[in-house]
Structures are given as structure tokens and as C-alpha cells.
Amino acid sequence: EDEADALPPVSVRKLSGECVGEFGLGADAHAAQLKQAVYEAGGPPPSEQKLIAGHVVLADTDTVRAVLATSCAPMIFLVTMKGCPSCEGPCSCSLCGCKPEYGLIDYYGVCKACGACGGHASGCSFCMMRFPSLCALDVHVRFSHQDEYLSGNWNTARLDEHKRRQRAR
């Protein structure tokens, strides 16, 4: 009998309680493997997942069953963190050299750690241009790649939210 079949499946749920799935994992499976299994089952990309057991946020190298055993948590919760479209994961600032993390660089290109703008570049997927902020990239795509923008090949929600905030001021 397969080792993964001999062990009970790992239950993954959203914070709302909605079941994401039950995943058969081997005793030594790492969080990165569980993230991949969640993705293959229709979940978000692994770079946008945070897995939480009890009060522990799992690192990709953590052994899932060991964390579950020490956290006294019967299941793992999945939190989706929107990753940077350029980095596809946590960002870092080249100006201050801080530790990469999700949400480090805001929509306007400002680093939370050092307060400077310009330490991160967001690349356009339709041409070779790079920009110091997602705001500048979104404006570039809206006006330079209008067909892509209007056809839904670009995330317009960020720029729409920015414009909504500007009007509210």
C-alpha cells in the first residue's frame, strides 16, 4: 500500500470554512508540495498561497504533517495573497536590500521598509518596457496597448481602484 494512502488526507480550507480539498500526502511532504496540489485542484498559483496551521504560517520547506502534529490543528487554512505580476511571488527592494515579502512594494512603487520609490521594476508583458510601479505599468498598458487592455487581457481592477480613490479625495 502506498505511504500517502496509509496516512489520513490533509484537509485544506479557506478562512470562510469552505473546503478546498483533501490531499493525500506522504509523511515527509513539504508545504511546497501541498501548494502545488492545491493549484492542480483548481486553487491559486503556489506563489499566491499562504498555508496556516494553528498559529503557524508554513514555509515552503516545512514538513506538513510535522507542523500539523505540533500545532494541534486538525486542518490547514489557505489564504490567497495576490502576488506581484512581475515577480510572481514576494517582492524585494533593490534600494534597501530588505527581505522579500508579499505587499512590500505598494501600487505606487513605494517600499514599506525604506519608503523609497524605484527599488522594484514591473515589466510589461506586451513589450520590453519596465516601470517603477504597478500604477505606471497599468497606465502604460491602458494607453500603449489599448487592444489588450480593452479585450480583458490585463488586470484593470488595480487602476479602477486607484481612480476611485482619487475621485473620493
Q: What is the pLDDT of residues 95-112, one digit of tens each?
A: 999 988 877 888 899 999
pTM of the prediction? 0.62
pLDDT score recorded for residue 103: 78
**Assign residue 99 a region: left if phi > 0, alpha if psi is -120 to 50, beta otherwise?**
beta
Q: Convert the pLDDT of each residue in 16-75 to its tens digit.
A: 999 999 999 888 999 999 999 999 999 988 878 899 998 889 999 999 989 988 887 789
Helical H segments across the chain, by residue range:
3-6, 31-40, 64-71, 134-144, 146-150, 157-168
